[in-house]
Amino acid sequence: MQLLLQNVGFGIVDAAILSVSAIGFSLQFGMTNVMNLAYGSLMTLGALVAYLLNSRGHVSIWIGALAGAVAVGIISLVLGLTIFRAFARRGARVFEMAIVGVALSLVIDFTLAAISHSAIYQFTFPDGGIHHILGMIFSTTQLIIIGISVGTIAVLETLLHRTKLGIAIRAGAANPALARASGIPTRALLRLTWFVSGLLCGLGGVTLSISYMSVSATMGTSYLPIILTVVVVAGIGAVGFAAVAALVLGVAIEVVGGYGLSAYNVSIALGVLLIMLLIRPQGFFGQLWERVDVTA
């Protein structure tokens, strides 16, 4: 029982990281209709910024985490306004944009691997004290990660469903042409979406690396299939459902991994993805795949 509870605790931490990452991807895809498969690579960039500031610049890890998240937010905005917009203007559809994302991911991953010589960098900051909660054991760092996730989800839920800005964002995602005709500044919303989703991407990458106390050139890309699984299960733009899906998947992966199957984490995630698509053949992306306009 103690092993089970401990694995559930690890799963909650994983869910905290996964939910922030998945919400960022979901928000970006829902608003722009761009399946940015370079998302995992951008997570790695955020983690590396935090690592460099912490280990080389001797900056607090949490200030480094904020800097890494902001850096990825800016990079995401630049990519959205340059590369993705250029292809959108040429009439690229969802599938073509996915290929562009794969190309960007390969460029970023191979560049990082060449610069780092595929090394794995270890964080050296103190992990804090140990806390026993309901039979589960958490470090101070893990509790901070959970707190960051809960706070992020609460803020986004409030923003999207309780403010005029959130209503405008959801309207732009549902019908961009009608939103523009109604006077909603869709271009400004797109820029905001690229930045905020990039911010969440960077934050997800930083918390992932902090949780594992290490970062490598392909860390984010390896994590991307699990993020996609959560997004498909929850549905595009569903912040609350993404958190629930992340919790279920995170706990399931850790519980199974606790019994000697940790090497199959990605396989488990893809298995869940296939099962969900079998239950609902059109998938939770169904309506978005029918949209032919990319609004990057």
User: What is the per-residue pLDDT for 287?
Assistant: 45
Residue 196: pLDDT above 70?
A: yes
Q: Return all residues near 99 (Cβ < 8 A) that are at least 6 apart.
A: none
pLDDT greater at residue 282 or residue 216: 216
User: What is the per-residue pLDDT for 276?
Assistant: 67
Q: pLDDT digit string (tens) for 141-184?
A: 999 999 999 999 899 888 888 888 878 877 776 677 777 777 78
User: What is the per-residue pLDDT for 291?
Assistant: 46
Q: pLDDT digit string (tens) for 29-38?
A: 888 888 899 9
Collapsed DSSP state (helix, strand, coil) of residue 133: strand
Q: pLDDT digit string (tens) for 89-148?
A: 888 888 889 999 999 999 999 999 999 888 899 988 887 789 888 888 899 999 999 999
Residue 41: pLDDT above 90?
A: yes
Cα separation, 44 vs 115, in Å, equals 13
Whole-model pTM?
0.88
pLDDT greater at residue 269 or residue 66: 66
User: What is the per-residue pLDDT for 236?
Assistant: 67
Q: What is the share, in percent, of the chain residues with pLDDT greater than 70?
A: 85
User: What is the per-residue pLDDT for 281?
Assistant: 45
Q: pLDDT digit string (tens) for 42-96?
A: 999 999 999 999 988 889 999 999 999 999 999 999 999 999 999 988 888 888 8
User: What is the per-residue pLDDT for 254?
Assistant: 80
User: What is the per-residue pLDDT for 81?
Assistant: 93
pLDDT greater at residue 13 or residue 275: 13
| Straight-line distance from the first to the last Cα atom of the chain, in angstroms, rounded to the nearest whole number | 49
Collapsed DSSP state (helix, strand, coil) of residue 122: strand
Domain 2-290 has CATH 1.10.3470: yes
Q: Label the pairing between strands 130-133 and 136-139.
A: antiparallel
What Rg, from alpha-carbon coordinates, does the chain have? 19
In single-letter form, the type of residue at position 30 comes to: G
pLDDT greater at residue 99 or residue 288: 99
Q: What is the share, in percent, of the chain residues with pLDDT greater than 90?
A: 44
Domain boundaries, the chain: 2-290
In single-letter form, the type of residue at position 179 comes to: A
Cα separation, 47 vs 63, in Å, equals 12
Mean pLDDT, range 259-269, rounded to an integer: 67
Residue 202: pLDDT above 50?
A: yes
User: What is the per-residue pLDDT for 285?
Assistant: 44
3-state helix, strand, coil in the chain (%, to 5): 75, 5, 20
Q: Label the pairing between strands 214-215 and 136-139.
A: unpaired
Mean pLDDT, range 223-242, rounded to an integer: 80
Average pLDDT taken over every residue of the chain: 84
Residue 294: pLDDT above 70?
A: no
Q: How many residues does the chain have?
A: 296
Residue in the structure block whose two tokens are 């306004």:
81
Residue 264: pLDDT above 70?
A: no
Collapsed DSSP state (helix, strand, coil) of residue 66: helix
Question: How many CA atoms does the CB half-sphere of 129 hold within 13 Å?
Answer: 3
Q: What's the gap between Cα 223 and its chain centre?
A: 9
Binning pLDDT at 50, 70 and 90, where does residue 289 land?
very low
Residue 290: pLDDT above 50?
A: no
Cα separation, 198 vs 205, in Å, equals 10
